[in-house]
Structure 1
Amino acid sequence: MQTVRSVRSVSLRRSAEKSSVSGKARQTTLKPHVNAVRQVHSLRCLRPVSRGRTHISAVAVPAEPPSEAPVQGLPDDIILSGLQGKALKINEWPSKSELLGCIPKHCFKKDTVRSMYHAAVCTAMTVACGLIGYYLIPMKLAFAPVWAAYAAVTGTVATGCWVIAHECGHMAFSDNKILQDTVGYILHTALLVPYFSWQRSHAVHHSKTNHLSEGETHVPYVQGQKKGDGTMARREKFGDTIYGTVRLLTHLIFGWPAYLIAGATGGPVRGVTNHFLPFMGAEGKHKLFPGQWTAKVYWSDLGIVGFLGLLGYWAAQVGAAKVALVYGAPLCFTNIWLVLYTWLQHSDTDIPHYDGDDWNFVKGALCTVDRPYGAVLDFLHHRIGSTHVAHHVNSAIPHYHALEATNAIKAAYPDHYLYDPTPIGEAMWRVAVKCGAVAPYGDDGKWVFRQASPA
């Protein structure tokens, strides 16, 4: 065991040396902003930072005692999450092969029968909820609270179907590619998700996780740039309560359609993208849908148009209001869960982003955070939020092996594995209010959400 630890230590030191060398050579579009923003923060952090009109504790209270002691000596404008700044202490990284090597080999094996069972169960539960709403809840104003509860429950259950389709897109469902894509295409199309389009953009997200300019989805704004300074100014003007509430509503309700239609929160190098129109956005190496993906986008469009036609026919038979309540309202909740999961998986006050040569795949994967969603949601959503680190280490691991893979990563690399025990509601509010725009921290390429904005 001592020999293994010595080898890993040497490997980590070599990895750190390589990272240091590449960091010195980096050329990024953000580099002109770095020195200026660092200088501003070194001055601003010497005096108290305005927190807005309502107070949120600088250190979130975790559901259980943190395993790590809080990082000491941080600037006043860096707030600790339930991670206690753990991600900010990491300066040595394993290689990708070392990280994959700690996971048991059988965790990568797909069981088609088992995958189909999970797909059938979550589909049956979703259909059962829909039938209850369709046949048992009256279309009367007095039953509005019942319809609201129905939408929340059914949308939450249907998110399980979303996750299964997501697994198909990652080729983690079956070795039978035709069956895999058929299941994924049907489930995602039924939830108005363009299957192949999203498969491609989500693969880009995994390949550039927490990359400040080339990432895909929930890429943060940068202080010293127009959007970053704008969001910091709005928080200062309106205060935490209004700013946080508006940000939550816009992200959770409009975030998913805005991403599909306009690439909202996508990587700035790709411009305005569209999951239905593959020719939009950047050209060249940053084109979101290159080559054969153009045709696949149109195949996805065909499915969406066809399903919208079915919904239109159904509405003509039973009325648009009935369809909106039975299908549309739950879909909104499914979309909310999707945005919430992805937002909290890669964002918090002390989770760094990287850019240029300072970034690499391992850093992105290990700057993903697992959170406590509880037994019910873990069952319904196939542990998508509580085993997400393992999912980013290798997205082809089936969800039913993800917990074992997570435990293996945690045991092999306890200083790198990130788990935040903060209750989800508290974490959601902290991220909405305090994760406005990033600025440099330290000399090793970290970009962190800073609370003091440049003057």
Structure 2
Amino acid sequence: MMSGLNGKALKVSKADIPDLAAIKAVLPHQCLNCSTNTSLAYLAQSLTIQVIVISIGMSIPLNVEILPVWVLYWLVSGTTAMGLWVIAHECGHGAFSKNRKLETFVGYVLHSMLLVPYFSWQRSHLVHHTYTNHIANGETHVPLVIRGNGIDEQAGGEKDIAIAGRLGKVQYGVFQLVLHLVFGWPAYLLTGKTGGPKYGLSNHFWPIAPFSRKLWTKKWINKVWLSDWGICLALFALIAWSLHDGFVTVFAIYLAPLLVVNIWLVTYTWLHHTDTDVPHLGGSDFSQLRGAFLSIDRPYGKVIDFLHHKIGSTHAIHHIAPWMPHYHAGKATIALKNAFPKVYLYNQTPILQALWLISTNCIAVTREENSGRYVWKNPW
């Protein structure tokens, strides 16, 4: 089934991908530089918005009779907090400031506040960028392969196809949405779920046995432990808050919105690297830049783009040049689209519709004969 891309990604070959020098040549010069003051201004913007939203939340009575009001608050607060997540993520890429100590401090504090192990995720996210849409070495949303070998490919695709066929399209789609959006992020942090087979059973909090150490090379092990200190401090703060104001308050003001933040995160990583006619690659068919050009830009609208610093509508250039700060990504995306229209991917399908199409149709992949490409299959 074709997506809004109309099979465009399937028509791109490795030879069509420009090299990094050609890409840099078409980008406005200022796009390659970051400004500490500008980055701090965007941080202040997101912090101010979040403080206002939380202040409103603290004024709402904790009353079950107004549960719809609380649900609306959770959606709004989680959506605005995602802007802070994006800035922390930018720190992990070295795109926030040339002052590395300041950048690390900001990213570490913001991610720890959101219960994200900063250095652990920095490492796994670097792998995700290096091997985007690689069938074995990729680190997020790597699909199961029909008749895969379980070594270079994750076997078990035929089982998922069979399960989907038994459940039916609607039930399977709902199951996948809940599995990915609600449980996907903690499952990834705790077990490396949806990561490729190369790194085995990984854990972002425990970099040694009984979990695999393949993701955590020697220099990263101590950084994982350092990430844990930030999480522990955040948890201690939450426990103290709960003892002072009650767990219900902590749940209403912090935990429920955090679930919405996690849903946004999975939405971005899932939608921007998955579509019914976007392949995964293996062997010599893969290169880092070719994988990056399989990233898909999508329409989120002006409000979400403002709150989330355009992370979804400029995701392709982010993967091609992850050191670029978000406030240059809009101009860089226009330049990229104009210079390389054959390989730039933009899917205009509305986000909720795209989520449903992917959850019901991107079930497992099969390897094309005489090719290093893996394409999606489903039983419908």
- TM-score, structure 2 as length reference: 0.95
What CA RMSD, in Å, does the superposition of the two structures yield over aligned residues?
1.2
Residue of 23, 35, 38 corresponding to 1:99? 23
Number of the residue aligned with 2:309? 382
- Distance (Å, rounded) in 1 between the aligned partners of 2:26 and 2:126: 23
Map Cα deviations across residues 217-271 of structure 1 (whole Å, 9 max, x no partner).
1111111144311211111001010000011011000100000000010111111
- Distance (Å, rounded) in 2 between the aligned partners of 1:387 and 1:123: 22
Map Cα deviations across residues 261-317 of structure 1 (whole Å, 9 max, x no partner).
00010111111100000125445xxx2111221111111100100110010001000
Secondary structure of 2:27's aligned partner:
coil
CA drift at 1:120: 1.0
CA drift at 1:452: 5.0
Residue of 3, 6, 11 corresponding to 1:89? 11
CA drift at 1:156: 0.1
CA drift at 1:395: 0.1
- Distance (Å, rounded) in 2 between the aligned partners of 1:250 and 1:203: 24
Segments ≥4 residues shifted beyond 3 Å: 280-283, 441-444
Secondary structure of 2:168's aligned partner:
helix
Map Cα deviations across residues 87-113 of structure 1 (whole Å, 9 max, x no partner).
111123222332333222210100100
Secondary structure of 1:447's aligned partner:
strand
Secondary structure of 2:374's aligned partner:
strand
Q: Find out whether 1:115 has 2:44 as its counterpart.
A: no
**Corresponding letter in the other structure for 1:112:** T
- Distance (Å, rounded) in 2 between the aligned partners of 1:282 and 1:148: 39
CA drift at 1:139: 1.1
Number of the residue aligned with 1:39? none
Secondary structure of 1:438's aligned partner:
strand
Contact 2:164/2:379, CA 8 A, preserved across alignment: no
Q: Find out whether 1:199 has 2:128 as its counterpart.
A: no
**Corresponding letter in the other structure for 1:82:** G
Structure whose alpha-carbon radius of gyration is higher: 1
Map Cα deviations across residues 350-381 of structure 1 (whole Å, 9 max, x no partner).
00110122210121011110000000000000
Q: Find out whether 1:157 has 2:85 as its counterpart.
A: no
**Corresponding letter in the other structure for 1:260:** L
- Distance (Å, rounded) in 1 between the aligned partners of 2:295 and 2:173: 23
Number of the residue aligned with 1:342? 269
- Distance (Å, rounded) in 1 between the aligned partners of 2:248 and 2:188: 26
Contact 2:131/2:139, CA 8 A, preserved across alignment: yes
Number of the residue aligned with 1:396? 323
**Corresponding letter in the other structure for 1:88:** L
**Corresponding letter in the other structure for 2:222:** A
Map Cα deviations across residues 155-174 of structure 1 (whole Å, 9 max, x no partner).
00000000000000000000
- Distance (Å, rounded) in 2 between the aligned partners of 1:364 and 1:415: 15
Number of the residue aligned with 2:299? 372
Number of the residue aligned with 1:243? 172
Contact 2:165/2:379, CA 8 A, preserved across alignment: no
- Distance (Å, rounded) in 1 between the aligned partners of 2:283 and 2:373: 11
Number of the residue aligned with 1:80? 2
Aligned residue pairs, count:
371
- Distance (Å, rounded) in 1 between the aligned partners of 2:240 and 2:288: 46
Contact 2:279/2:375, CA 8 A, preserved across alignment: yes
- Distance (Å, rounded) in 1 between the aligned partners of 2:215 and 2:26: 32
**Corresponding letter in the other structure for 2:314:** T
Number of the residue aligned with 2:131? 208
* Runs of 5+ consecutive residues of structure 2 not aligned to the other structure: 149-154
Query: After the TM superposition, which residues 14-163 of structure 1 pair with which residues of structure 2 at under 5 Å, given as runs?
Result: 79-91=1-13, 92-93=15-16, 94-134=18-58, 136-163=59-86
Number of the residue aligned with 1:68? none
Secondary structure of 2:277's aligned partner:
coil
- Distance (Å, rounded) in 2 between the aligned partners of 1:102 and 1:449: 33
- Distance (Å, rounded) in 2 between the aligned partners of 1:182 and 1:428: 34
CA drift at 1:124: 1.6
Secondary structure of 2:94's aligned partner:
coil
Number of the residue aligned with 1:271? 200
Residue of 363, 372, 380 corresponding to 1:445? 372
Map Cα deviations across residues 403-429 of structure 1 (whole Å, 9 max, x no partner).
111111111110000000011111100
- Distance (Å, rounded) in 1 between the aligned partners of 2:129 and 2:86: 15
Secondary structure of 2:334's aligned partner:
helix
Number of the residue aligned with 1:25? none
Residue of 231, 234, 258 corresponding to 1:304? 231
> How many percent of aligned residue pairs carry the same amino acid?
47
**Corresponding letter in the other structure for 1:323:** V
Residue of 95, 98, 120 corresponding to 1:172? 95
- Distance (Å, rounded) in 1 between the aligned partners of 2:78 and 2:45: 15
